[in-house]
C-alpha cells in the first residue's frame, strides 16, 4: 500500500510509530513512505497516484469521488490557521493592486484566502457581490513553495504572502507583519476549528482495510504522545525549521485530539469548509460523503 505525507513535524510525528515498526499494522503492508510538500501530494491526488496520502482539505474537495477522509491523522484546531503577512500594511479593500504569494493552488490556505477576500468584497458591496467584481480588483496570486514565501515577501518579489506550517512561528524574525490571521477569521465566522489537512485513503481499498488504517494511525499518534523523544531525530531530519522550540510548538499546535479522532465537531468543521468552497464556486459539487 503506497503512502505519502509531508516532511512537516506534525506529519512525521504522527507517522513515526507507523513507519518505524513501533505498532502492530494488523496485516497492512506499507511501501516505504514518500515525503513531499503537501501541494505536491495534492497534485498527485488528482492523478490518484497514492493509496493513502496527506491532503489539504481544499484538495480533498476535488477528489471525493476517489478518496475518503480517515478519522485519524488530521490537522484541525484553533489558533493554528494560515497567516497573511506583508512588509507593510496593505489596503485589502483594493486587493487588485497587489501580488500575493500562496503555498499552492490546492492548499487550504489558498481557499481560505479567497473566501476571506470574498467576504471583504461582500462587506463593501453588499449581499449581491460574492467576489471582487472584475479581474482588476482581484490580487495576482503567485504560487510558491511554502518555505520560500517569507523570503519572497521580505525581498519585495511579492507584496504579501499566505504562510503556513513553521512559518507561523518565525515570520516576525524576518520583520514581517501579520495582516490577517485567516484561521481566526474562520473561527469567528463559523464557530468551528479550522480544518487544515487530513489523511485520505482510496475508497477502493475497502472498508476493512480503511478501518485498519485508521486504527494503526491512531495507535501511532498515541505512541508518539507516549514516546515524544524517540520521534525527534526523525522529525528533525525532515523539518524545514530545526530550532527545537519551533519544532515542539509546531507539534503542540497541529497534533491534538482531532488527530486521534475527528469526532462530531471535526466532521462538522470539514462539512462547513467544503460547503463554503462550493457555495463560492471554487469547489465542485459532490455527492460523495467525506467518510
Q: What local confidence, expressed as pLDDT, does residue 169 receive?
A: 81
Q: In this model, does residue 152 exceed pLDDT 90?
A: yes
Q: What mean pLDDT do residues 190-216 have?
A: 96
Q: In this model, does residue 235 exceed pLDDT 90?
A: yes
Give the global pTM: 0.89
Q: In this model, does residue 72 exceed pLDDT 80?
A: yes
Active site residue 227: no
Q: What mean pLDDT do residues 116-136 have?
A: 54
What percentage of the chain exceeds 70 in pLDDT? 93
Q: What local confidence, expressed as pLDDT, does residue 84 receive?
A: 97
Q: What mean pLDDT do residues 91-95 have?
A: 84
Q: What local confidence, expressed as pLDDT, does residue 121 receive?
A: 62
φ/ψ of 236, rounded to 5, equals -70, -30
Q: Residue 242 — very low, low, confident or very high, per pLDDT cuts 50/70/90?
A: low
> What value does the mean pLDDT of the chain take?
90
Q: Going from the N-terminus, what domains does the chain have, and what CATH number goes with each? A: 3-78+194-279 (3.40.190.10), 83-190 (3.40.190.10)
Q: What mean pLDDT do residues 151-159 have?
A: 97
Q: In this model, does residue 195 exceed pLDDT 50?
A: yes
Q: In this model, does residue 2 exceed pLDDT 90?
A: yes
Q: In this model, does residue 286 exceed pLDDT 60?
A: yes
CA-to-CA separations, 185 to 112, 117, 255, in angstroms, rounded:
9, 11, 21
Q: What mean pLDDT do residues 245-258 have?
A: 87
Lowest mean pLDDT among 37-46, 121-130, 269-278, 281-290: 121-130
Q: What mean pLDDT do residues 108-129 have?
A: 72
Q: In this model, does residue 191 exceed pLDDT 80?
A: yes
Q: In this model, does residue 258 exceed pLDDT 50?
A: yes
Q: In this model, does residue 126 exceed pLDDT 50?
A: no
Q: Residue 129 — very low, low, confident or very high, per pLDDT cuts 50/70/90?
A: very low
Neighbours of 140 (CB within 10 A): 14
Q: What mean pLDDT do residues 3-29 have?
A: 93
Identify the CA nearest to 27 among candidates 211, 164, 281: 211
Q: What mean pLDDT do residues 280-290 have?
A: 90
Q: Which of 48, 165, 227, 238 is catalytic?
A: 165
Amino acid at each position: 500500500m503506497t503512502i505519502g505525507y509531508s516532511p512537516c513535524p506534525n506529519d512525521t510525528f504522527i507517522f513515526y510509530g507507523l513507519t518505524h515498526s513501533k505498532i502492530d499494522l494488523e496485516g497492512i503492508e506499507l511501501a516505504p513512505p514518500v515525503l513531499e510538500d503537501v501541494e505536491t501530494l495534492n497534485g498527485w491526488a488528482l492523478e490518484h497516484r497514492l493509496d493513502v496520502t496527506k491532503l489539504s482539505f481544499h484538495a480533498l474537495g476535488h477528489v471525493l469521488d476517489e478518496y475518503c477522509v480517515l478519522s485519524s491523522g488530521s490537522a484541525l484546531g484553533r489558533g493554528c490557521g494560515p497567516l497573511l503577512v506583508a512588509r507593510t500594511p496593505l489596503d485589502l479593500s483594493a486587493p487588485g493592486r497587489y501580488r500575493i504569494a500562496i503555498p499552492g493552488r490546492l492548499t487550504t490556505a489558498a481557499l481560505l484566502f479567497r473566501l476571506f477576500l470574498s467576504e471583504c468584497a461582500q462587506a463593501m458591496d453588499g449581499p449581491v457581490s460574492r467576489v471582487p467584481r472584475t479581474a482588476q480588483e482581484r490580487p495576482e496570486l503567485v504560487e510558491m513553495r511554502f518555505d520560500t514565501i517569507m523570503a519572497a515577501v521580505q525581498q519585495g518579489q511579492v507584496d504579501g504572502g499566505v504562510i503556513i506550517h513553521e512559518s507561523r512561528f518565525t515570520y516576525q524574525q524576518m520583520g514581517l507583519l501579520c495582516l490577517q490571521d485567516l484561521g481566526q477569521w474562520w473561527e469567528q465566522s463559523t464557530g468551528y476549528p479550522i480544518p487544515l489537512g487530513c489523511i485520505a485513503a482510496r475508497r477502493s481499498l475497502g472498508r476493512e482495510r480503511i478501518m485498519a488504517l485508521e486504527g494503526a494511525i491512531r495507535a501511532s499518534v498515541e505512541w508518539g504522545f507516549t514516546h515524544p523523544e524517540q520521534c525527534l531525530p526523525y522529525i528533525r531530519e525532515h523539518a524545514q525549521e530545526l530550532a527545537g522550540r519551533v519544532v515542539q510548538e509546531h507539534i503542540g499546535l497541529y497534533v491534538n485530539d482531532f488527530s486521534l479522532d475527528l469526532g462530531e465537531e471535526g466532521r462538522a468543521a470539514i462539512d462547513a469548509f467544503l460547503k463554503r468552497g462550493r457555495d463560492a464556486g471554487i469547489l465542485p459539487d459532490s455527492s460523495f460523503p467525506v467518510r
